Amino acid sequence: MNALRILIVDDHVVVREGLARILSGTGEGWSVSEASGGFQALDRLRREPADLVIVDLSMPGMGGLELIRRIRSEFGRTAVLVLSMHAEEQYAIRAFKAGANGYLTKDTASTELLKAVRKVMAGGAHVSADLAERVVLQ
């Protein structure tokens, strides 16, 4: 099996670098690349396909929801995991409606992030238990 190819899309350098360290440090040989926004991400995906794109929702230029729709349209087999500062359930619902496979908030522990990556890549959907409960109780 080929190593997992992951593209991190976030407009904050420190977030991208931190995520890249976490994902590269698994010992599983995952290939991690970065993009600072939606347009750069699409350009990179056209040149270097990815298995998973980790997307921030709030970015200048093309926002995360539009990026998810474009990934779904142009790269249908590529999985999308949202990592956002927005903990409100309406953001998660919008992300899933746009085509996301998972949704995490940026206060998530690295172990939860790795669990989400593995679950999404196995064909599942991931949302934190806390967020799932809030959506159900809405």
**Residue-wise pLDDT tens digits, 52-99:** 999 999 999 999 999 999 999 999 899 999 999 988 888 999 999 999
pLDDT digits (tens, 9 = 90+) for 32-49: 999 999 999 999 999 999
What is the model's pTM?
0.93
Residue 72: how many other CB atoms lie within 10 Å: 15
- Asked whether the beta carbons of 69 and 99 are under 8 A apart, the reply is yes
Q: Where are the alpha helices (DSSP H) in 59-102?
A: 64-74, 89-98
Residue 41 CA to residue 47 CA, distance in Å, equals 10
